Structure 1
């Protein structure tokens, strides 16, 4: 039990000096909390386990390359890495969500691609690509809540828990994300009414 009184910073110093056991202790100390934060986002045990492993590989590489400088803030730093990897996982999945604007209209009509003509599929894919690029341009906090809500189908309570803010803040960020997205779509003339798709 005495080992638990050793600070994270001390353990990192020991690990830098070649003490592998020090890192094992850090891992044991924080693993369940980090896993929970990932699982809250991805809601899949196997994906969460993979991302946990990826998180610690990134942590090890950063420390071994001498790039770690978050003295005394090890856990928040690791949580941030885990959080970013979880969000990236969904970006790479290239899902096609239905995004509902703040006035209730849908960005996309969610017919399966297989039911559409090749031309319509291409138009839809191209529009989704443009939309993803516009989402990338949103402020980080707005982009995050939009991805969690529409790509990951998380409730606002889950988003609030995962990002450490109140439900009202999460709702506010979502509202501004949609308003900003609508402005960008209007600026680039991207239709979100299914009837406006070119034939």
Structure 2
């Protein structure tokens, strides 16, 4: 179990954090996710036959949705100066200038993603930060694969449009 937690911790936590935008809340939900995973594994009820990450991401997503239902608001991702989201990404450490440029680029991308409609933002986060397939994203968000693909396409088009309008070069 420790191996599973170590292997998928970063992807699951980052996805939760990007959805709830609160580090402490994300840590709480992350712990709840792994408590549910451990309970299910110990009781022998896990049956996804080697599809651990999509199953774990579905649990995380459902717990995030439950949280927002509980407080009666929609999940939003707001721009903040907190760069902890990208702690888990592996940037090359070629030099200080390279690291600063990567952080600035990540910050620009994050701000633009924050401006997307919720459904487009969610698909982009799940695809690029959690490395889920479109089938897994469709299952997780209760939509068809074509809808997930469409949301990704429109999200990327909107990002390109923002970059053009604001003359942002990455």
What TM-score comes out, normalization by structure 2 length? Answer: 0.52
1:113 counterpart (79, 83, 92): 92
Higher Cα radius of gyration: 1
CA distance in structure 1 between the aligned counterparts of 2:135 and 2:99, rounded to whole angstroms: 35
Matched-pair contact (CA < 8 Å) for 1:134–1:184: yes
Structure 2, unaligned runs of 5 or more: 1-39, 41-47, 77-82
Structure possessing the higher relative contact order (Cα contacts under 8 Å, 6 or more residues apart) = 2
| Cross-structure match for 1:169 | 147
The alpha carbon displacement at 1:123 in A equals 1.6
Given candidates 94, 97, 100, the residue that maps to 2:86 is 94
Q: Aligned partners of 1:55 and 1:146: how far apart in 2? A: 17
Q: Aligned to 2:143, what secondary structure does the other structure show? A: coil
- Contact map agreement 2:58 2:140 (CA 8 A) in 1: no
Please give the alpha-carbon distance, in whole angstroms, between the structure 1 residues aligned to 2:144 and 2:124. Answer: 16
Shift of 1:55: 7.6
Residues 121-140 of structure 1 mapped to structure 2, 5 A cutoff: 121-140=99-118
What is the rounded CA distance, in whole Å, between the counterparts of 2:167 and 2:88 in structure 1? 20
What is the aligned length? 113
The alpha-carbon deviation at position 127 of structure 1 amounts to 1.4
Structure 1 Cα separation of the partners of residues 127 and 112 of structure 2: 16
Distance 1:189-1:96 versus aligned 2 partners, 3 A rule: farther
Q: Counterparts of 1:120 and 1:190 in 2: how far apart (Å)?
A: 18
